[in-house]
Amino acid sequence: MARTRNAWLGPSARPVFVLDDYEDPSVEKASGPVRLPMHIRWSEPSIVYDLDDKSDRARVYEQVLREGTKDDIEHFIDADQLLDMWDALVLPEYVRRTWAEWFARTRGVRLEC
């Protein structure tokens, strides 16, 4: 078993998913009460989050941005809400940097990492 972390091992080696088109009207966005899939929230107990509550939405966004697949990002993350909550979210630097680059490229918005 490896005992150190590097670019090829550890959380920072996980892919960070972003999507080209968040405006696809065929994709249903999550709202209201939600339970995260087991591959995102893998510890027990299962929790119901309310996406209409700002603090619950922040916890969902933090988990989905770190652990989610492209489909999860597309379903749970609203780019406008993400931008609004950016400074309050607790995210690893590599996730923050990837999304900051996405906002700069797609929206022309500069964000602090």
Q: How many CB atoms lie within 10 A of CB 87?
A: 7
Split at pLDDT 50, 70, 90, the class of 9 is low
Which of 28 and 88 is assigned the larger pLDDT?
Answer: 88
Q: Residue 22: what pLDDT? A: 64
Which structure tokens are listed for 71? 């489909």
% the chain with pLDDT above 70: 85
Q: Residue 34: what pLDDT? A: 97
Average pLDDT over the chain reads 86
Specify the DSSP element, H or E, that contains 82.
helix 79-85
Rounded (to 5) percent helix, strand, coil in the chain:
45, 5, 50
32 pLDDT above the threshold of 60:
yes
Q: What amino acid is encoded at 67 in this protein?
A: E
Block residue for tokens 């993350």? 77
Block residue for tokens 């893998």? 42
% the chain with pLDDT above 90: 66
Q: Residue 15: what pLDDT? A: 79
